[in-house]
Structure 1
Amino acid sequence: MRILFSAPQYEYEMIREQWLEAVAKIARQGVFVGGPPVSEFEAAFAAYLQAEGTVGVGNGTDAIYLALQALGVGPDDEVITAANTFVATVGAIHHTGARPVLVDCNEHYLIDLERVKECVTSRTKAIIPVHLYGKMADLKAIAPWAAERGIALIEDCAQAAGASLDGIAAGRWGVMGCFSFYPDKNLGALGDGGAVVSSSFEMIAKLRKLRNHGGEVRYQHEICGYNSRLDPIQASALQLKLRYLDDWNNRRREIARHYRFYLGAVEFLTLPEFADDNSHVFHLYVVRVKYGLRDALKKHLQKKGVLTAVQYPVPVHRLPAYAHLGYKAGDFPHAELYAGEILSLPMHVAMTENEVRFIASEIRTFYESCQTVGR
């Protein structure tokens, strides 16, 4: 048996005929940058999130960077984010000239919001909580707290398209929400893409200029901008996929339930929290493997045809690129401990219960063999 870690090709098959027709239409019209496919997707995604507007950009990293630029973040500013995020979150902060300030995660892998409050200084311009692995950070308390202090809340929603908390979609809790449409995301393009959503007309207007060399009208450059536009071919795919997003997220939750049923009694695993709401869309199904057995389990599953991954094996502060921030080993104990234990099991909408059962059986077999050797 071979079980894929993710399967964006399955989603492609769901939209293939309609998407190829849309691509042919783009080709016939000869509008290969911008145009109706982009504006129509932006409107549809904003409506889906119940936000005032969406600005499509080149990728998820640009989404964060341009959101920070729209706020005027720059040198002498500080931006707080999680130590266990993907490097792109911190890279976007770095390239504004601001200092990334890192915070440890809690037992659910999400930024510790109480620690965030302890890190705020007079230079803090923004906070970027990361909705990691598909689960939303609980922003109910921090959002008004930050607003009272004039600190912008920018959500990193790269892994949380379609998630919501108390009926409010991921991306709408802060002044801006940043999305990645990398192909394996819950809402993924057939290439790269990203978006910033906001209910601030001021931010939407500024972002539309920033992504397009500083102006919305050709040769009228009102501010210093960049070239980061969502491709119309990708926008066409995203609009088609958006129709399936809720169903696909429900399918991911169903797979997560199967995992919990079949793995619930496996003593050396810590399973992710499962809440009966929409706050978790299971972009990834991440378990923690105790007793230093993570790498051995990964190899065992690979030999059995089960592909797994580790997101992310090294916390940001331990990467050479960010050694200059001055953090040291032990500064973020949860992030460092979990980096050595986490393992992402296969999770995609084409998975079956039988595949989950097979994975669980192999995990139990592996653990039983370890116990036998130990005795």
Structure 2
Amino acid sequence: MQQLTINQIPFVNLKTQHAALKSELLAAIGEVLDDCNFILGEQVAEFERQFAQLCGVSYAVGVNSGTDALIFALKALGIGSGDEVITAPNSFVASASCIRVLGAKPVFVDVGDDYNIDVSQIAAAITPKTKAIIPVHLTGRPCEMEPILALAQEKRIAVVEDAAQAVLAEYQNQPVGSFGIVGCFSLHPLKILNGCGDGGVLVTNDPQLYEQFKIMRNIGLRTRDDCVLWSHNSRLDTLQAAILLVKLRYVQEWTQQRRQNARYYQTQLAGIPQIKIPLEREWEKSVYSNFIIQAERRDELRQFLSDRGIGTAIHYPVPIHLSTVGKELGYPEGSFPVTEMQAQRILSLPIYQGLTVEELHRVCENIKLFYRYS
């Protein structure tokens, strides 16, 4: 791992996060080592209970990744060969690969200024083969769930929320993940609520789906000696659950810090005409898994900041339909003009909890400097 100097502002800083929690994390890990219940131990059940409560739902099931959460959600709904599932083309590839690996077809709909699926275009994409919609709460901003749910109910299709980046995000004061028949979350190390390794969670209010997910994540086993369906091993490790239980104590505080950092950026960068900043609407609570601006001369700006010790990222530079694997879906360049335009302009700024006002000020001042004097 690259060594940080005192003058650098990294894009992420997991080292500092874990240093502050090290004694608590080691104590939690030590309990697991003492018990030796490494597979589906009591920490997994307790994490699931607390996570369900956090999301305002009845049930949560821990799995080994957010990708598996999406795959299990679609598989449990019977989606497979010949079916179509609508989603957005600007997300991480897992939002579409979960559809394709089941033999179904991802059908893309362009996005709006908030980087989320444009609800006004969904109806035109629905066909008799459409079985589900996967709205992606990208960057931790909630999609407009009310019209999505209304359309889905009218057309009798399922809604599976991809909330991988959106723990604690809210739409109209209701947590994301609680709107669709299933909500899917990631616990990847780069998420706000993050494991020390991979992990994911499914949430639902449906007791039958809950029981099915528990079987699916455990190689199809209903009991140790009775396998009732073909599946694979996707259990959330007890060690990861123990780590996540520690971090659950802080996730509200971390989210609030990110929101404060976002407000600082929104205030300080508002007057720069060459960039566009995300602004919350009255019905949404964003958690800012990423703080993405749109910037003129984006690549030059990124290099300028890097030269001054400021880390940035691009989420995501190649839309799924233009990726090597996505080209098989038959969407030529120009199919989704907003997505493609944004891909040329988006830049993620450091937003993590623990950033100081001085560091935030330095990021903003260097952006201003780039556009004034370069």
- Give TM-score scaled by structure 2 length: 0.96
User: SS at 2:240's partner residue?
Assistant: helix
**AA of the residue aligned to 2:302:** K
1:249 partnered with 2:271: no
Which residue of structure 2 lines up, in the alignment, with residue 201 of structure 1?
207
Cα distance, 1:70 vs. partner?
Answer: 0.8
Taking every aligned residue pair, what percent have the same amino acid on both sides? 37
Which residue of structure 2 lines up, in the alignment, with residue 105 of structure 1?
111
Which residue of structure 1 lines up, in the alignment, with residue 237 of structure 2?
231
**Structure 1 contact 7–184 (Cα < 8 Å) conserved:** no
**AA of the residue aligned to 1:307:** G
- Compute the RMSD of aligned alpha carbons: 1.2
Structure 2, unaligned runs of 5 or more? 1-6
Question: How many pairs were matched up?
Answer: 368
1:299 partnered with 2:306: no
Following superposition of structure 1 onto structure 2, how do residues 210-289 of structure 1 map, counting pairs within 5 Å? 210-275=216-281, 279-289=285-295
Which residue of structure 1 lines up, in the alignment, with residue 180 of structure 2?
174
Which residue of structure 2 lines up, in the alignment, with residue 336 of structure 1?
340
Match for 1:359 among 359, 363, 368? Answer: 363
Q: What are the superposed Cα offsets for residues 214-259 of structure 1, whole Å, 9 maximum, x if unpaired?
A: 1231121111111101111111111111121111111111001111
Cα distance, 1:107 vs. partner?
Answer: 1.2
User: Following the alignment from structure 1 to structure 2, what is the Cα–Cα distance between the partners of residues 22 and 297?
Assistant: 42
**AA of the residue aligned to 1:199:** N
Which residue of structure 2 lines up, in the alignment, with residue 55 of structure 1?
61
Match for 2:122 among 116, 119, 122? Answer: 116
Q: Which moved more, 1:319-328 or 1:140-149?
A: 140-149
User: Following the alignment from structure 1 to structure 2, what is the Cα–Cα distance between the partners of residues 64 and 184?
Assistant: 18
**Structure 1 contact 15–237 (Cα < 8 Å) conserved:** no
User: 4+ residue stretches of structure 1 with deviation over 3 A?
Assistant: 275-278
**Structure 1 contact 182–192 (Cα < 8 Å) conserved:** yes
Cα distance, 1:129 vs. partner?
Answer: 0.4
Structure 1, unaligned runs of 5 or more? 371-375
Cα distance, 1:145 vs. partner?
Answer: 2.3
Q: What are the superposed Cα offsets for residues 299-329 of structure 1, whole Å, 9 maximum, x if unpaired?
A: 0000000000000001000001111110001
User: Following the alignment from structure 1 to structure 2, what is the Cα–Cα distance between the partners of residues 168 and 99?
Assistant: 30
User: SS at 2:226's partner residue?
Assistant: coil
1:322 partnered with 2:326: yes
Following superposition of structure 1 onto structure 2, how do residues 8-19 of structure 1 map, counting pairs within 5 Å? 8-19=14-25
Cα distance, 1:33 vs. partner?
Answer: 1.1
User: Following the alignment from structure 1 to structure 2, what is the Cα–Cα distance between the partners of residues 319 and 331?
Assistant: 13
**AA of the residue aligned to 2:70:** I
1:310 partnered with 2:306: no
User: SS at 2:334's partner residue?
Assistant: coil
Following superposition of structure 1 onto structure 2, how do residues 23-172 of structure 1 map, counting pairs within 5 Å? 23-172=29-178
**Structure 1 contact 80–124 (Cα < 8 Å) conserved:** yes
User: Following the alignment from structure 2 to structure 1, what is the Cα–Cα distance between the partners of residues 276 and 113?
Assistant: 10
User: Following the alignment from structure 1 to structure 2, what is the Cα–Cα distance between the partners of residues 148 and 223?
Assistant: 32
**AA of the residue aligned to 2:21:** I
User: Following the alignment from structure 1 to structure 2, what is the Cα–Cα distance between the partners of residues 113 and 217?
Assistant: 43
User: Following the alignment from structure 1 to structure 2, what is the Cα–Cα distance between the partners of residues 129 and 71?
Assistant: 16
- Give TM-score scaled by structure 1 length: 0.96
